[in-house]
Amino acid sequence: MKQMASYTKRYEPSDDGLRFQDLVYQGNFHGMEPVPDGILGDKVMKQRAKSKVLEKVSHGDVLKDQFTIDELNDLNNYLAWNIWDVLVMRATEGESGMIPRQEYEILAFMHEFYRWPEILQMTNDEVGAQGIIDIGASARREIGTKVNCVHDWCIGAVGFGMGRCGLLALEVIKPQDYIEESNIILKFMQRILWGKRQDGYILNSQDRYRCIIHEQDVLDKLYGEIEHFEEGSDSHGAFVHFNAAAELLAFLDHYDCRLGLGDTGPYPLPNGKVLIVRDLFTNEEAYHWSDVCDHENVPHCYTMVLEIDAEAMGLEEIRVNDISTTFTRPKNYIPYVTGGAVFVREKWNTPMSEVYPVKISDLASRLTGVQQATLKLYSKTARMSRRQLITNGMYVYYIDMILPHLRLAGTYEKACRDLNFWEIDHRVSDYYYDITKRGFAQATVPQKIFSGEGYLPFPDNADLRRSKYFWD
Amino acid sequence: MNVVAEGYNAFETKKTPTGTIKYLPDPQSVIALISSGKLKEHILLVQGGTTTFLTPALTMGAIGVITLSGAPESHLGILSREFQMPCIMTAYRTDSDARYVTGGKNDEHFKAMIAALDGKKVTLDCTNGEVGRVVLAD
């Protein structure tokens, strides 16, 4: 017999949420109780913070240019736990057999930590702190925008957190190095995310895994196009199959990473159901391999709007995590999708007034286009050398994670022209040969990153202006 | 019910696909299977829990997958749910203590798993929320 839906209990302050996994997190908290996943984990991490940076912060706080050492360390610790929380189980997936993801990931992490500070600071100089906040806020009124959870999270969690962690593991930097640059990256992330959420938090995990960002009139417009159906109907089948096929192409176009997806929600509906708004980025014009998507007339983004019957599902918990992915308990929400709508954004800069809906009955030809592009892209990818795959994958991370913010700031061309955005730093080029030695990419990095033990704190007495001055 | 292997269940489903397990070692073998027109006769066995490797098989309607690593939170776990294709991840033999170790040396474990499962006719039982079962069909 199906249980009554209990997911709304998760939003009561005293509730600790469910555990989605048996593993626990230790990180930098030696000698202390390990931290669990989910809502309880967030509570513990906030309790252990030395500063107030993990609580709701004000507009004035976000406009300040400088974090304190305690704030930097609290963000470092929280992001390390958050990374573990969302990725420790994914990280069990091993080698892909197609794309050497661990290798391209670690190179991208380190490259980002070296190169992004200059590019992000230039962008901040061009548009100002408020301008960065406004870029985050733009996501409240748009769909099909890559200014979304996963991209915004990546700025700090990947570029700072994993990048610094990787370089520490490779023993090419020390904990007291690059403090000024770390501050630049984390301030940029905080401003974007604060502008997007506007509730004082920056991460979904701080808000019981909710990403309720869209303005009501935007939601009303999306919901107005919803077509209702029953499980087993042609419409249900066509909608969920298109969702799956477009999601698969989004993964492949983004080299098997989460940057192709973007969920927000869960938005509560007056009828007791919940809404998930899902962007599937099926054609990124920045990638040369995406030409096959052009040939099949696949747009930049398909946005899927899913109405889920929480009561029929017996929904116990729903998490829209910080890498833009929805997980539920029970796990299978697809049979309980009772309504759907599909929207198209042809290019990344197509005005919202020109974003248009597609009827479910008209999806068949679009599905064919998505499938043809997928097969062509697979065939193309299967012929690439290991070096090509790693290079392309590294660009997907290093370029795409901040591309949407630079585009909206109008600084992408300047970054390419004046700061060699698409060049690879000499040091990282050399690391290519180091990461396959002694299992660095396959074993050391995952262990350091996903156990949390590699995110060493900044020393308490460190100078906030410190960069790196000595290479030994 | 002769359960030969178990693993993480990617998602709960009443679907019980039956087919002969086929191990796919590389992208060329995936393309060859699609070209043969026999995709739906097989339960696919793959080493990794990533999505891209199996892309054409997912697109063309694979009936079920067993992986030797990965979890429901892995990309293949996510996509199998979206496609409603039963998927058992990080499978291990029920008559052996050998298990996949993240970041460890798993070559011997993988070889033993492939030797034990490849070519067997099985049914996937994915009704339990946590554990998926590979059941001998013959």
User: Do A177 and A71 fall into the same domain?
Assistant: yes
User: Do A417 and A365 fall into the same domain?
Assistant: no
Compare all CA atoms of chain A with the CA of B101 and give the residue at the minimum distance: A92
User: Do A185 and A329 fall into the same domain?
Assistant: no
Is residue A15 a part of any domain in this protein?
no
Compare all CA atoms of chain B with the CA of A326 and give the residue at the minimum distance: B78
Residues of A in contact with B80 (CB under 8 A): none
Give the nearest partner residue to A244 out of B48, B82, B100, using CB atoms.
B82
Is residue A6 a part of any domain in this protein?
no
Is residue A3 a part of any domain in this protein?
no
Q: Which value does ipTM take for this structure?
A: 0.93
The tens digit of pLDDT for each residue in A157-184 reads 999 999 999 999 999 999 999 999 999 9
pLDDT at residue A2 greater than cutoff 80: no
Residues of B in contact with A242 (CB under 8 A): none
Is residue A368 a part of any domain in this protein?
yes
Residues of B in contact with A374 (CB under 8 A): 55-56, 59
Which residue range(s) make up the domain with B115?
Answer: 3-136
pLDDT less than 50: residues of chain B: none
* pLDDT value, residue A102: 87
The count of structural domains within chain B is 1
The count of structural domains within chain A is 2
Cβ within 8 Å of A, B 4-43: 10-13, 25-28, 31
Compare all CA atoms of chain A with the CA of B73 and give the residue at the minimum distance: A90
Compare all CA atoms of chain B with the CA of A22 and give the residue at the minimum distance: B130
Contact across the interface for A241 and B83, Cβ inside 8 Å:
yes
- Give the CATH number for residue B132: 3.50.30.10
Is residue A62 a part of any domain in this protein?
yes
User: Do A232 and A376 fall into the same domain?
Assistant: yes
User: Do A278 and A372 fall into the same domain?
Assistant: yes
Is residue A66 a part of any domain in this protein?
yes
User: Do A182 and A234 fall into the same domain?
Assistant: no
- Three-state secondary structure along chain B? CCEEEEEEECCCCCCCCEEEEEECCCHHHHHHHHHHCCHHHEEEEECCCCCHHHHHHHHCCCCCEEECCCCCCCHHHHHHHHHCCCEEEEEEECCCCCCCCCCCCCHHHHHHHHHHHCCCEEEEECCCCCEEEEEECC
pLDDT at residue A323 greater than cutoff 60: yes
The tens digit of pLDDT for each residue in A83-117 reads 999 988 777 777 778 899 889 999 999 999 999 99
Q: State the best of A22, A92, A450 to mutate against chain B, taking most chain B CBs within 10 Å.
A: A92
Give the nearest partner residue to A334 out of B25, B67, B81, using CB atoms.
B81
Nearest-Cα distance to chain B for A144, in Å, is: 20
User: Do A231 and A161 fall into the same domain?
Assistant: no
Is residue A469 a part of any domain in this protein?
no
Nearest-Cα distance to chain B for A141, in Å, is: 27
Compare all CA atoms of chain A with the CA of B130 and give the residue at the minimum distance: A331
Reduce the DSSP state of residue A306 to 3 states and report it. strand
Which residue range(s) make up the domain with A231?
Answer: 216-382
User: Do A288 and A419 fall into the same domain?
Assistant: no
User: Do A378 and A389 fall into the same domain?
Assistant: no
User: Do A237 and A316 fall into the same domain?
Assistant: yes
User: Do A139 and A234 fall into the same domain?
Assistant: no
Is residue A461 a part of any domain in this protein?
no
pLDDT at residue A348 greater than cutoff 70: yes
* pLDDT value, residue B7: 96
A23 inside 8 A of chain B by CB: no
